[in-house]
Chain A
């Protein structure tokens, strides 16, 4: 069973305390939403989890392996994959080549099985017709799908999706929803970071709320929705909305 354990994570940039002792665990194939206002520390937390930056203190374990001091490629190989807030496809490589990179990095080889697997992923994401095009020829939404496809080829146990719905047309969001549910049902833990509350509440089984570096809530979406601290820090009350 997947087990991601984050313990007492601190991160400081000079005098700016971005994370103040964040702790949580993921047990099994949970579908988790991570929300919080701008500057809450969501991206910093993501960057620490994927090895891009090191924490000031605290630990992150993926299973039995401590990953907070590993390089990003080692974290990916250990079983944690991510997408980026701003889509980062390999623009001057074809769609198929984009998918080959993670599969080959994980030790796979060239050949028909690799191509077949990539085609299967692209068909599921409905962009198989673009397989030989350069990624730069894809629309923004299609590039988001391509990023998800790369994650399928990486096949990690824990997936972090940073703003997967931002700037995406409703038709594409259906594809992304389907992707998330399918991957989660296949036994992967998924953390979704998003400001789109409707999507977060409809998909997540559990919500984590960060506010100025503190984890102020961790629970079922309905509980979190009614948590006064969360309402004050992020969601806002109905009265405020009406005002």
Chain B
């Protein structure tokens, strides 16, 4: 029973989070929902990174790069691709299942170039007679995840021979190149000005008999929460399959795993592909939720935050890492509240990151497995030591009980 407590607690937490937006009615509802949606977003990133770094031992610092690939794939698809019943005659276009797939020309960010938008010109010429349809949001998310998977596969192949610091530097370099490219290609990506994205549910959605507008927080809450659950289910399935066993063997000793018949190349590439797809899907959903994406999402600080969340939760358990992410996201917001001690005001807008840094340092120094993993292990491995001692005692050799055969005498 004691070993099941983490599972029971996990299910209760999930039920609480699932019911929370329906039961919470505070005046700051939108703000609280936003914090939790962002927490779920980071939870997906940390859980998938935990599988990559904690389970498989592949310390990639490019995870935010894959997240950005998902976000920008969805963003660029929504920004440049439309379906039209008639050919514009101005844009690049091709017949597509009875309609025209229109690709809008890149025009950059300045107001003087806006008149060069071929679709705008066509719409003006049609004068409302023809309606064009943007690509569905779900398609952008699916394609974003697929692009993340492809990029993860390629990077996984490239880093096959790299380990430890070399792998970390390679993936960091990949992420930095991506950030520089997005920043530089202003005409296509709009650079630092950011690429606007449509809401997750552009026309709103009806849930539980209530219609929610595009700007309401409840639908994106469940969208991100659902994606988190999906990722956790997939990760749990993987962790308990031969995949999980093999990637952990890969982490422990790649050469020994190979000598025991494990195709280490295959599993190294697979773990990159799967976890990067998850990061990319999270990026695409988050992009549609906040409705604008910029290269700033690739700042090293963002990656550091994901690593810190995973470390504080527990890097070798993706559930603990996900809980750590949600906990830290909430805590970082709570720490924004300044307070007064003995007449001295502590301005938490300045000091909150110091507290965060201190928590990280304390965790690294005293809780190498994070704050949550030891608690889970305390329950899930309850009785193992006692069981070992009991079996050993029952198999003692000699009439008066000598040492076990594999143990040296004192």
Residues in A lying within 8 Å of B, measured CB to CB: 50-52, 71-73, 76-77, 81-82, 84, 88-93, 97, 100-102, 104-106, 110, 125-130, 132-133, 139, 141-142, 145, 150, 154, 169, 171-172, 174-175
Question: Which residues from chain B contact A84 at a C-beta distance below 8 Å?
Answer: 255-256, 259
Q: How many A-B residue pairs have CB under 8 A?
A: 113
Question: Which of B216-224, B260-268, B287-295 forms contacts with chain A?
Answer: B260-268
| Bound CA–CA A142/B403 (angstroms) | 14
Residues of B369-405 at the interface with A, using a CB-CB cut-off of 8 Å, are 381, 384-385, 387-388, 391-392, 395, 403-405
Contacts A100-B245, A142-B406 known; 14 new A-B pairs at CB < 8 A: A72-B255, A72-B259, A73-B263, A76-B258, A76-B260, A88-B255, A91-B252, A92-B248, A97-B248, A101-B257, A106-B261, A126-B404, A169-B408, A171-B407
A132 near B384 with CB under 8 A, answer yes
Among A72, A102, A154, A175, contact of B406 (Cβ-Cβ < 8 Å):
A175
Among B246, B258, B381, B395, contact of A129 (Cβ-Cβ < 8 Å):
B395
Among B252, B381, B388, B395, contact of A90 (Cβ-Cβ < 8 Å):
B252
Q: How far is the CB of A231 from chain B (nearest CB, A)?
A: 34
Could you list 18 examples of A-B contacts with CB < 8 Å?
A52-B255, A71-B263, A73-B261, A76-B259, A82-B259, A88-B255, A92-B248, A92-B251, A97-B245, A101-B262, A104-B242, A105-B242, A126-B406, A129-B395, A141-B408, A150-B260, A171-B405, A171-B406
B256 near A105 with CB under 8 A, answer no
Question: Which residues from chain B contact A105 at a C-beta distance below 8 Å?
Answer: 242, 246, 260-263
Supposing A50-B259, A52-B255, A88-B256 touch, asked if A73 and B264 sit within 8 A by C-beta, the answer is yes
B259 near A93 with CB under 8 A, answer no
Q: Which residue of B lies closest to A84 (CB)?
A: B256
Question: Which residues from chain A contact B256 at a C-beta distance below 8 Å?
Answer: 84, 88-90
Q: Which residue of A lies closest to B385 (CB)?
A: A133
Residues in B lying within 8 Å of A, measured CB to CB: 242, 245-246, 248-249, 251-253, 255-265, 316, 381, 384-385, 387-388, 391-392, 395, 403-409
Q: Which residue of A lies closest to B409 (CB)?
A: A171
Among A51, A90, A127, A132, contact of B249 (Cβ-Cβ < 8 Å):
A90
| Bound CA–CA A90/B392 (angstroms) | 22
Question: Which residues from chain B contact A169 at a C-beta distance below 8 Å?
Answer: 408
Question: Which residues from chain A contact B245 at a C-beta distance below 8 Å?
Answer: 93, 97, 100-101, 104
Q: Which residue of B lies closest to A76 (CB)?
A: B261
Question: Which residues from chain A contact B404 at a C-beta distance below 8 Å?
Answer: 126, 129
Q: Which residue of A lies closest to B394 (CB)?
A: A129
Supposing A97-B245, A105-B262 touch, asked if A172 and B406 sit within 8 A by C-beta, the answer is yes
| Bound CA–CA A182/B258 (angstroms) | 25
| Bound CA–CA A61/B261 (angstroms) | 18
Q: How far is the CB of A91 from chain B (nearest CB, A)?
A: 6
Please give me the 5 A-B residue pairs with the lowest Cβ-Cβ distance, nearest first: A105-B261, A129-B391, A90-B252, A72-B258, A76-B261
| Bound CA–CA A150/B387 (angstroms) | 23
Q: How far is the CB of A162 from chain B (nearest CB, A)?
A: 11
| Bound CA–CA A77/B258 (angstroms) | 10
| Bound CA–CA A50/B259 (angstroms) | 7
A73 near B262 with CB under 8 A, answer yes
Considering residues B251, B255, B260, B263, which has the most beta carbons from chain A within 10 angstroms of its beta carbon? B260
| Bound CA–CA A125/B407 (angstroms) | 12
A141 near B260 with CB under 8 A, answer no
A175 near B405 with CB under 8 A, answer yes
Supposing A93-B248, A104-B245, A126-B404 touch, asked if A88 and B253 sit within 8 A by C-beta, the answer is yes
Question: Which residues from chain B contact A129 at a C-beta distance below 8 Å?
Answer: 388, 391-392, 395, 404
Among A71, A90, A91, contact of B258 (Cβ-Cβ < 8 Å):
A71
Q: Which residue of B lies closest to A77 (CB)?
A: B261
Considering residues A71, A97, A125, A129, which has the most beta carbons from chain B within 10 angstroms of its beta carbon? A129
Question: Which residues from chain A contact B257 at a C-beta distance below 8 Å?
Answer: 90, 101
Q: Which residue of A lies closest to B251 (CB)?
A: A92
Q: Which residue of A lies closest to B393 (CB)?
A: A129
Q: How far is the CB of B318 from chain A (nearest CB, A)?
A: 15
A101 near B384 with CB under 8 A, answer no
Question: Which residues from chain A contact B395 at a C-beta distance below 8 Å?
Answer: 129
Supposing A52-B255, A169-B408 touch, asked if A154 and B260 sit within 8 A by C-beta, the answer is yes
